[in-house]
Amino acid sequence: MKKIIGVFIFIILSCFGTIDAQDSLLLHKVKFRIVNRDLSNALVDLSKATKINIAFNIIDIPEKKISLYAPNYSLKEVLDFLIKGTKLKYTVLNDQVVVFLPKNESDKENIIYGYITDKKSGEKLVYASVYLPVSRTGTVSNDYGFYSLKLNNNDTTVVFSYLGYKSLTVKLSDLNNANLDVNLEKEPDKILDEIIITETKSGVKKLEFYEPEKINIEGLEKMVHIAGEDDIVRYNYVKPGVLTGADGFGGMHVRGGNTGGNIMLLDGVPVYNAQHAIGLFSVFNSSIIKTAKFLKGDFPARYGGGLESVLDVRTRDGNKKKLGGEFDVGIFTVKGVLEGPISDNKSSILLSFRRTYLDIWSKAFSSVLSNEIRKKKFSYYFYDLNMKLNIELNKRNRLYLNLYKGIDNFLNNSQEFKSKDDDLIVLKNDDIWKWGNRLMSIQLNSQLGQKIFVNTTIYNSKYSLNSNSSNISLLPNESSKYFYGGSLLESEINDIGLKVDVDYAINSYNFLRFGTLNIHHEIEPFVYIKNSIINTIPDAPKPDEIKSGIQFFSSNSVENRFYIEDKMSLGNSSLLNLGIHFAVFNNKDMKYKSIEPRLIFSSFLSKNIVYSASIVKMSQFSHLLTNNGLGLPSEILLPSTKRLLPEEVWQFGTGINYDIKDNMNFSVNAYYKYAKNLVEQKRGSSFIISQNSNWEDYIPGGIGKMYGIETQLKYSVDKFRLLFNYTYSKSKRSYKHILDGKFLDYRFSRTHYMNFLLFYEISKKTILSLSSVYGSGNPYTIPTQLTPEGELIYEEPNNYKLPFYQRIDVGVMTKFNVKGTSQELKIGIYNLLSRKNPFYVTFKGTKGFLYNTDFKQVYVFPIFPSVKYRIKF
């Protein structure tokens, strides 16, 4: 009862604000000086200086640094100065000053929520920072531009910021309700600002702390890319720990992992084989990318199904305010985008296409390459089509419809004759490959109250591959018999999935995410590889003949995944993301389960140093089978079966990120991975995947150990921006059938790898870029002995190191505006020094010798200039 009365009295007193209960106490003259002191300590100092008791609850006092020189002020004036800008009040009670937070301010749960959008286009801004500078907490907008943030008692302002946009500060006292939708304005064309280095303003630095995996899209277009084509996957090769296969081909290998372990998502839908032109380009059209995240170790629980990395690409919604577009032409590709509002500036549509015209070039090349004894025909092209429809159903619900289709088509025929006057064919090659993806999805974003955001997605992801290759050569010393080596590969994957993801901003210290993913997989791989001796070229097996006698292997399975993760702020300086991911895979023959803990921790050790650590387990129920190590589209995706166990990896990581100065940052990260059931196809002259073949015998599982140290230095000064990465890494595999399980170097590993990136702002509109890559040679398998019968003996896989890889690229990009359009010209040179970087090794030579000159190193890209022009309207 007494307590209630006491509280009641306190409330009455509070309602009157500052009360002059004893004026003389507050009029007391004070001689007081503090320099950069915390408010709580300043109050203690003031109490000591005046010998007047100043009482307060430390929880109510915000963290605020104060400097004050008061030679002869009253206590009231000093107190007013100290609490200025906070919600604190003070009163005099019983000869003491009580500093307090008014009760209605301390008890009410204040939340702000809403969407962050681009002021000009209405585009939702993803991973934008929302920061409370007083309480030093914050959040970021989610994948759909929505945020929700609980305010603390002392917060008076909130800051919204996003790279390339002007920050916006909003006074909380100006708000009438909790819904705060914000429009951010783009900075005038600042060509170099924050390409690589984020200036250490507190808000932006906090963004990195919360979402370190966000990719800087603005930097993507300023680099020199092969054939001038910006590509988000190739852009990742600037990051430490990320390698290509062989000279840009062969997929992405992250921290010594297999390219099949990368999860590639386009607006949340998985893409199987996201490569065009065997890895030179990806399926992600850079003109329509809004944002992207790349994770290579710290996988929060919401991701699953791949061991090595996650690339989560989100496309733009389309301009809701006005019709616009762009057109882009380079030496290999042409692309265009058209976007605009549908009705009432609430809905929009975005269409894009991209196509190479390499097939036009290649017809010309073919005739040049042909001569009297050799006929050559070569053709390649790919195209992508994207469509995104974005409909605002009402203030709380938004619907998206996404479509993507892409195709690659490759043809290569060559015939070599014995001589000019002899029409006997001595060599015949035929390759016909066609592959592609089709994605469809419907997504519903629903905002349930102030704190909960739900995304529901239904999707279909389909990948198909058809490849037919044959190589026929006249046998030596035989005038009429031929060696035939052929392969027929077909793969069809059809997924139907249902995803529900829930974001729940419990408070400013806890952000909960949970959800489920349910996929029905239909996988039909077919592989037929054969070598044989034939009497005449027409005797070579035809695809229809091969397929007619074989029953295709087919797998129908269901994969269910559930996850829950909580991102917790521990005080103002630490983040802990704790989660669990649970997966079940089953078909008519078997069931597999996987429980995957995820723990990610980061903390400010000091103002400039962040420490991070993570322990994650990942699993995948599909296996990418490569049979040549070159990343060619002959890669086949296989499901787990009774004998082909799911792949798993445990990854441990730790690191330090250090802001040496405001314009210089250094980071070092170490990792260790242990993987099981990694597949590797046994080499063989024949291999068949069909219903009736025990093909699993041919794909034994193995163990992988990968570890390394990644370092990165970022530096900016005046008009220069510099990025330097160095990685030391090892990646090893062990298979029981190879040398009794001896650990051997993985084919796509490089012990030392470094890259260097420099941008220089020539003018406000023109930028020069220079990049350099160095990597120690890949392991490669070469024969060590030749028998008198002409057989090559390979005694150990990956027993040779190819020559080192090195490349320098330069480029210049300039932007200009003409009659309401924004235009851009890029000129670049890829591989400026024309170094003949090794792609693979062939063996040629006289029978009986195995000299150095018998080995030839094949390279693909010598010096390669490019030009690209873009116009936006």
> What residues between 264 and 293 interact with another protein by CB under 8 A?
none
Pattern 308-347, another protein, x by CB under 8 A: ----------------------------------------
**Which contacts (CB < 8 Å, 24+ apart) does range 533-539 have?**
533/475, 533/481, 533/482, 533/483, 533/484, 534/472, 534/481, 534/482, 534/484, 535/480, 535/481, 535/482, 536/480, 536/482, 537/425, 537/428, 537/472, 537/482
Helix (H, G, I), strand (E, B) or coil at 611: strand
Q: Which of 588, 789, 818, 820 binds another protein (CB under 8 A)?
A: 789
Binding positions for another protein, 738-757, rule CB under 8 A: 738-739
- Would you say 58 or 364 has its CB closer to another protein? 364
| Residue number, 36 or 853, with CB nearest to another protein | 853
* 859 lines the binding site for another protein (CB under 8 A): yes
Task: Please count the residues of this chain forming the interface with another protein, following the rule CB under 8 A.
Answer: 76
Stretch that binds another protein, among 37-45, 315-323, 358-366, 646-654 (CB under 8 A): 358-366
696-725 residues near another protein, rule: CB under 8 A: 697-698
Q: Which of 355, 855, 869, 871 binds another protein (CB under 8 A)?
A: 855
Among 108, 363, 591, 683, indicate the residue that binds another protein (CB under 8 A). Answer: 683
Question: Which bin fits 642, alpha (ψ -120 to 50), beta or left (φ > 0)?
Answer: alpha
Locate 737 and state its tokens. Answer: 């059938």
SS3 category, 477: coil
Distance CA 684, CA 46 (A): 84
Among 71, 188, 538, 788, binds another protein (CB under 8 A): 788
Q: Hey, what are 397's tokens?
A: 């619900």
Give the dihedral sign, CA 354/359/360/365: positive
Q: Which stretch binds another protein (CB under 8 A): 218-226, 234-242, 585-593, 841-849?
A: 841-849
The length of the chain in residues reads: 873
417 binds another protein (CB under 8 A): no
Question: Would you count residue 695 as binding another protein (CB under 8 A)?
Answer: yes
Residue 589 engages another protein in binding (rule: CB under 8 A):
no
798 to 827: interface string for another protein, x by CB under 8 A: --xxxx------------------------
Binds another protein by CB under 8 A, chosen from 81, 237, 365, 582: 365
Quick one: which H or E segment has residue 107? Answer: helix 103-107
Q: Which of residues 378-407 bind another protein (CB under 8 A)?
A: 378
Work out whether 58 is an interface residue with another protein (CB under 8 A): no
- Contact with another protein (CB under 8 A): which of 478, 570, 572, 762? 478
Q: Which of 170, 269, 173, 274 is nearest to 231 (CA)?
A: 274
Site for another protein in 456-475 (CB under 8 A): 475
Minimum distance, C-beta of residue 797 to another protein, in the bound complex (Å): 7
Contact status, residue 393 vs residue 419, Cβ threshold 8 Å: no
- For position 413 contacting another protein by CB under 8 A, the verdict is no
Q: Is 476 in the site for another protein (CB under 8 A)?
A: no
As measured in angstroms, the least distance from the Cβ of 119 to another protein is 45
CB atoms within 10 A of CB 116: 26
We find the least distance from the C-beta atom of residue 737 to another protein, in angstroms, to be 9
User: Which is nearest to 129 in space by CA: 34, 28, 199, 37?
Assistant: 199
Q: Which of 23, 109, 181, 795 binds another protein (CB under 8 A)?
A: 795
Please identify which residue in 238, 428, 861, 866 interacts with another protein, judged by CB under 8 A: 861
Nearer to another protein, 169 or 531 (CB): 531
DSSP 287-301: GGEEEEEEESS---T
Q: Which of 108, 190, 363, 856 binds another protein (CB under 8 A)?
A: 856
Where does 553-682 have alpha helices with state H? none
- Nearest alpha carbon to residue 779 among 820, 746, 821, 804: 746
Instruction: Report the SS3 class of residue 278.
Output: helix
* Strands 333-341 and 324-330, bridge-based pairing: antiparallel
Which member of 152, 397, 507, 690 binds another protein (CB under 8 A)?
690
Instruction: Select from 86-94, 391-399, 666-674, 693-701 the region that touches another protein (CB under 8 A).
Output: 693-701
Identify residue 684 by its one-letter amino acid code.
Answer: G
687 binds another protein (CB under 8 A): yes
What is the DSSP code (8-state) at residue 751? S
Distance in angstroms (rounded) separating the CA atoms of residues 617 and 570 = 24
**Binding positions for another protein, 18-47, rule CB under 8 A:** none
Q: Which stretch binds another protein (CB under 8 A): 53-61, 121-129, 445-453, 791-799?
A: 791-799
Smallest distance from the beta carbon of 756 to another protein, in angstroms?
23
Would you state the structure tokens that stand for residue 191, as one six-digit string? 């060509």
Going through 718-791 in order, the beta strands assigned E by DSSP cover 720-734, 744-745, 752-761, 766-775, 779-780, 785-786
User: Please, what is the minimum distance in Å from the beta carbon of residue 858 to another protein?
Assistant: 5
